Amino acid sequence: MTAEIISGKEVAKAIRAELAVEVAKLKEEHGVVPGLATVLVGENPASVSYVTAKNKASKELGMNSFQHTLPAETTEEDLLKLVDELNKNDDVNGILVQLPLPKHIDENKVLCAIDPDKDVDGFHPVNVGRLVIGEEIFPPCTPAGIQELIIRSNTPTSGAEVVVVGRSNIVGKPISIMMVQKKEGANATVTVCHTRTRDMAEHTKRADILIVAAGVPKAVTADMVKPGATVIDVGVNRVGEKPSKKDPNRMVALLEGDVDYEPVKEVAGKITPVPGGVGPMTITMLMRNTYRAAKLRV
């Protein structure tokens, strides 16, 4: 039996519709318009694309967008000065410094300089601490998106066996913490697998919910998946090029996830595609965190 496809595009669309209503309500009742400031240092093509998408999403939801594009040779001191100015700007509720930064800038130092109450990426140590004790204000965006996909696909989580493949600070660790919390959409028993796990399949085969963020194409195969499991594929790996559907003369990236999709979807109960699964959720969760930051002011 082929798995049910969990469409990140459709879930993100639904959440944005709900969010647009809340943003309009905040403006009408309190005169507050959420504002997101994005900071881009250099002209990394992927970073430019991400920031453009974030600014577009802000405007579509009725939020204010403040874009700061700095040359690649910008000093760490000047970047920190800009962050300090944004911290003090009451029109800015959320600050996002696009990573990666040029090598001469200490990323950790910059992220830690952001006011925790404006850290809509959820990477500041204060917000990581809030996440650990179950009092998060701004959960990291990709893990928050994963949890929403699980909840909105009506996948039971209470008492479920969750296996996370990958232990990154951006995805693996935070989603494992979120799924073990004593709250709705969590209450699971969580196992984290990584590069030193001895027999990964032994763990993945007992997962009711399998979250794969390994960074390796097709790392999880069909024989590693429990029949009927919900499989969330976080991986986005560029493995080549293919002709565009809209313009056959133009080549676009050929992407694969961390899950061997075609065989696994014949075993799993539910599965996210790549692209179109977790990806669309990340920016949506960033918008939700920015709204929450604005609401804190009220």
Active-site residue, selected from the candidate residues 117, 118, 119, 121: 121
Displacement of CA 111 from its chain's centroid (Å): 17
Contact criterion met (CB below 8 Å) for 83 and 113: yes
Contact criterion met (CB below 8 Å) for 92 and 66: yes
Residues contacting residue 267 through CB under 8 Å, at least 6 positions apart: 3, 222, 225, 226, 227, 229
CA atoms of 256 and 99, how far apart (whole Å)? 22
Active-site residue, selected from the candidate residues 98, 218, 258, 260: 98
* Nearest in space to 54 (alpha carbons), one of 97, 118, 113: 97
Q: What are phi and psi of 162, to 5 degrees?
A: -110, 130
Active-site residue, selected from the candidate residues 54, 218, 265, 270: 54
Tokens of 40: 């881009």
270 is catalytic: no
Displacement of CA 269 from its chain's centroid (Å): 23
90 is catalytic: no
131-139: long-range contacts at Cβ-Cβ below 8 A with a sequence spacing of 24 or more?
131/174, 131/177, 131/178, 132/177, 134/181, 134/182, 134/183, 136/178, 137/292, 137/293, 137/296, 138/289, 138/292, 138/293, 139/174, 139/178, 139/285, 139/289
295 is catalytic: no
For the annotated catalytic residues, the residue numbers are 54, 98, 121
